[in-house]
Amino acid sequence: MVNNAKKFYTFDKILLLISLDETYECKIDAKGRLPLPTALKRQLAEIVEDGFVLKRSVFQSCLELYPKREWAKVNDQLNKLNRNVKKNVDLIRLYKAGLKVVDLDTSGRIQISKDLISFAGLDKDVVLTPSGYILEIWDKESYEKVVDISQVDIASLTEEVLGGINEEEDVS
């Protein structure tokens, strides 16, 4: 639970309240420091003091920034895997490869290590975009290619993925 003066929220509700919906364009400096936009820092104010976990994405050439409490849930799932099964050990190793715990510095920046910068191909211009309760960090050029809707049948994809979400259950 987080105590915010008169309000008490569980972490999941905080994330729903901050509603990470916006995409931001930023610049990373030569030392790998990424300043978070002011509007994003305001949205994350309730969880910034806990810090974040930065890791490689499994499915894309980008990075994923998890609030520490959300990462703890993922880590709990990984820790439940039987470590006497080789594919489980392989998954844990690969899933956590390059993982870094990061905090905002006094200037509101996160430090991205060279190995993670290399993995994601980050250049000077980057994009921060929400993906559920995490933020993806993309090289701008790579991001533009991934979201190029001329390469995807967005109508079919939307129908396939979201088509059944609003189905009402029979409550009789």
pLDDT at 144: 92
CB 140 within 8 A of CB 125: yes
Average pLDDT, the chain: 82
CB 27 within 8 A of CB 124: yes
Percent of the chain at pLDDT > 70 equals 81
Which residue segments constitute the domains of the chain, with CATH numbers given? Answer: 21-152 (3.40.1550.20)
**E strands, 88-147, where?**
100-102, 109-111, 125-131, 134-139
Asked if the model's pLDDT at residue 100 lies above 60, the reply is: yes
Per-residue pLDDT tens for 39-62? 888 878 777 888 899 999 999 999
